[in-house]
Amino acid sequence: MTVGELRRLAHEGRIEALATRDPIAIRIAHGRWRVAEQALEGRPDDEVINLHTATIGVKLAGEALGYTPQQVRKLIRERKIAAQKQDDQWRIPLDAIL
């Protein structure tokens, strides 16, 4: 998948959520869009990105999923979200949250 395709998917999800007029769906879709934008910042649209190896931290994952960082850590402990420890921080693959 290219960076441009991922940006477009995140944007489309945001537009679809706005059409539902459901505040929770809008908040989560907006969070996913913001996380995608932050994770892809500075990358050209034609760059191919591997969603299994591109990772984000717990705080951004929580924003994308609508959870607090503590809830994300709990999901990691329960093995409901894939994550790997890198140094002293959990890193979550983009494909686990987008």
Residue boundaries of the structural domains of the chain: 3-96
Residues in CB range of 66: below 8 A, 6 or more apart: 24, 27, 28, 31
- pLDDT (tens digit, 9 = 90+) per residue, 5-34? 999 998 999 999 999 999 999 988 998 899
- Residue 91: predicted pLDDT: 96
Q: How much is the mean pLDDT over the chain?
A: 92
Nearest to 66 by CA among 29, 95, 16: 29
Burial 28-42 (b: 16+ CB within 10 A, else e): bbbbbbebbeebbee
Cα 78 to Cα 9, 51, 72, distances in angstroms? 29, 22, 10
Are 26 and 18 in contact, with CB atoms under 8 Å apart?
Answer: yes
- Residue 26: predicted pLDDT: 92
Using pLDDT thresholds of 50, 70 and 90, give the confidence band for residue 59. very high
